[in-house]
């Protein structure tokens, strides 16, 4: 009789031990189970993905630093083009001025200032000379100031160029960009002191390159005056 009790006792102990071992293995499996795909972290910074997704053609040249690209937002703006039609385009701007740039373009639209074409510059591979020749209104471009080694405010997405063909950068009588452009205040799309475009930018405390004394950059507006 004693033997039976011992066998029952040992069986219960064995059952308890087996249950403990199984539950331990199960809990360990549960803990190390890989997270479902939607929880996996992506290797790319979140903002950069959302920026690229909005216009899936954004391929930046290799020399554009990631630290600067991560400061950018892609915005969509409406404007009236040279055919007097409603048009729209994308701009890459610094996050700091995202909302302000949208307000500026809203004001330019409402007040009827004509813009040739708005673009990120992607289709020109960010070539400043090509963009000027094609009369592109743009913001961000990782480049230096024309004729200098200093990094431009465009490199931070903190400056905007408006209708470059009508609003050249005039360094001296024989040095102007784009080449063969003429600054004529009677021509549509030209930025004039006291005109709609200058007034709108100044309302938001932006500075105009047409006010510079040493040389004139009629297309250029920036927040800090450089």
Residue ranges that bind Zn ion, judged by CB under 5 A? 159, 161, 220
To Zn ion, the closest distance from the beta carbon of 135 in angstroms equals: 14
Quote the CA–CA distance of 56 and 53 in Å, as a whole number.
5
Name the minimum Å distance from CB 217 to Zn ion. 6
C-alpha–C-alpha distance, residues 32 and 25, integer Å: 11
The answer to whether the beta carbons of residues 92 and 118 sit under 8 Å apart is: no
Tell me the closest approach of the beta carbon of residue 183 to Zn ion, in angstroms: 15
Nearer to Zn ion, 220 or 223 (CB): 220
- Residue 114 or 139 with smaller CB distance to Zn ion: 139
Residue 32 corresponds to which tokens in the numbers above? 């190390």
Give the C-alpha distances (Å, rounded to integers) separating 167 from 157, 176, 187. Answer: 20, 10, 10
Least Å from the CB of residue 56 to Zn ion: 27
Report whether 73 contacts 169 (CB < 8 A).
Answer: no
φ/ψ of residue 131, rounded to 5: -65, -40
Residue 225 Cβ vs Zn ion, minimum distance, rounded to whole Å = 12
Q: Least distance from C-beta 37 to Zn ion, angstroms? A: 44
Give me 6's structure tokens: 């011992």
Residue with smaller CB distance to Zn ion, 69 or 209: 209
**Residues found in the chain:** 226
Nearer to Zn ion by Cβ, of 47 and 212: the residue is 212
> Among residues 52 and 130, whose Cβ is nearest to Zn ion?
130
Based on CB atoms, which residue is closest to Zn ion, 216 or 220? 220
| Pairing of β 136-137 and β 117-118 | parallel
* DSSP string over 111-176: TT-B-SEE--SGGGTT-HHHHHHTTEEB-----BPTTSSSBPGGGGT-EEE--TTTS-EEEETTEE
């Amino acid at each position: 009789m004693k033997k039976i009790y011992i066998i029952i006792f040992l069986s219960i102990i064995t059952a308890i031990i087996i249950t403990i071992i199984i539950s331990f293995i199960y809990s360990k499996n549960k803990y190390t189970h890989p997270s479902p795909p939607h929880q996996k972290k992506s290797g790319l910074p979140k903002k950069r993905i959302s920026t690229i997704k909005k216009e899936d053609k954004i391929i930046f040249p290799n020399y554009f630093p990631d630290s600067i690209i991560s400061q950018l937002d892609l915005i969509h703006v409406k404007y009236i083009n040279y055919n007097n039609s409603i048009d729209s385009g994308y701009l890459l701007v610094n996050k700091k001025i995202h909302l302000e740039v949208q307000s500026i373009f809203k004001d330019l639209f409402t007040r009827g200032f004509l813009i040739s074409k708005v673009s990120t510059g992607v289709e020109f591979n960010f070539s400043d000379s090509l963009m000027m020749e094609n009369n592109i209104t743009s913001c961000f471009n990782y480049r230096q100031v024309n004729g200098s080694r200093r990094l431009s405010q465009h490199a931070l997405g903190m400056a905007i160029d408006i209708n470059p063909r009508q609003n050249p950068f005039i360094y001296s009588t024989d040095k102007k960009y784009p080449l063969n452009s003429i600054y004529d205040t009677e021509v549509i799309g030209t930025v004039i002191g006291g005109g709609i475009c200058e007034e709108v930018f100044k309302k938001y405390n932006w500075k105009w390159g047409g006010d510079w004394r040493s040389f004139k950059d009629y297309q250029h507006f920036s927040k800090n005056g450089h």
